[in-house]
Amino acid sequence: MLSAEKAATTETVTPHLCYYSPRIPGNTGSAIRLCAVTGTILHLVEPLGFNLRDTKLRRAGLDYHDMAHVVLHPNFDNLVESMPNSRIIAFTAHATKLYTEVEYKPTDILLFGPEPGDIPDPMDIMEGPHVAEQVRLPMRPSLRSLNLTNCASIAIYEAWRQLNFAGGR
């Protein structure tokens, strides 16, 4: 685990990724793997829908857990306060702007809300004053959404592409 203070001062080549109250351990494990291979810092905002020692989380992340930087925040305000120089870009199906219409910076935080579950829809988080942009991934209108980490992967790779895949090979 990385402290919030250290995450705020660590130079990165990709934006940060944030899962607000993730519910499915396999998705978070896959996000850990994504962050390890792209050099992205992963922020997890509590409450989590699983224990961080969950076997599904460990299995999905394979052996990448030690190569990824993960920050655990007790609440969303802690994330906002610990990253004061970051622009928060919320990914939501309700947005009109496409994710490709944003010029990404390494200091950005790409925010994804929770998977369906037992917590209320966090519109105060996804539309709050701390959000600089709301964007969406295009999809057919008759379907609900992509898998959370599939969406995050598309977003991180678009941002990294814009930044010329700095630090990659």
Domain boundaries, the chain: 4-162
Class of the domain covering 4-162: alpha beta
155 or 93: which carries more pLDDT confidence? 155
The fraction of the chain above a pLDDT of 90, given in percent, is 62
pLDDT at residue 63 in the model? 66
The per-residue pLDDT for range 1-29, each reduced to its tens digit, is: 889 999 999 999 999 999 999 988 888 98
Look over the chain and give the mean of its residue pLDDT values, rounded to a whole number. Answer: 88
Per the annotation, binding residues are: 113, 137, 145
How far, in Å, CA of 83 to CA of 107, rounded?
9
pLDDT at residue 153 in the model? 97
pLDDT at residue 65 in the model? 63
Per the annotation, binding residues for S-adenosyl-L-methionine are: 113, 137, 145
The per-residue pLDDT for range 94-147, each reduced to its tens digit, is: 889 999 999 999 999 999 988 765 555 577 788 888 999 999 999 888 877 788
Give the global pTM.
Answer: 0.91
Per DSSP, the residues of the chain read ---HHHHHH---SS-EEEEES---HHHHHHHHHHHHHHTPEEEEESPPSS-TT-HHHHHHHTT-GGGSEEEEESSHHHHHHH-TT--EEEE-TT-SSBGGGS---TT-EEEE-PPSSSS---HHHHSSTTEEEEEB----TTS----HHHHHHHHHHHHHHHTTTTT--
Identify whether the C-beta of residue 57 lies closer than 8 Å to the C-beta of residue 25.
yes
Pull the structure tokens for residue 35. Answer: 């962050």
119 or 83: which carries more pLDDT confidence? 83
The per-residue pLDDT for range 34-78, each reduced to its tens digit, is: 999 999 999 999 999 888 776 766 665 556 667 789 999 999 999
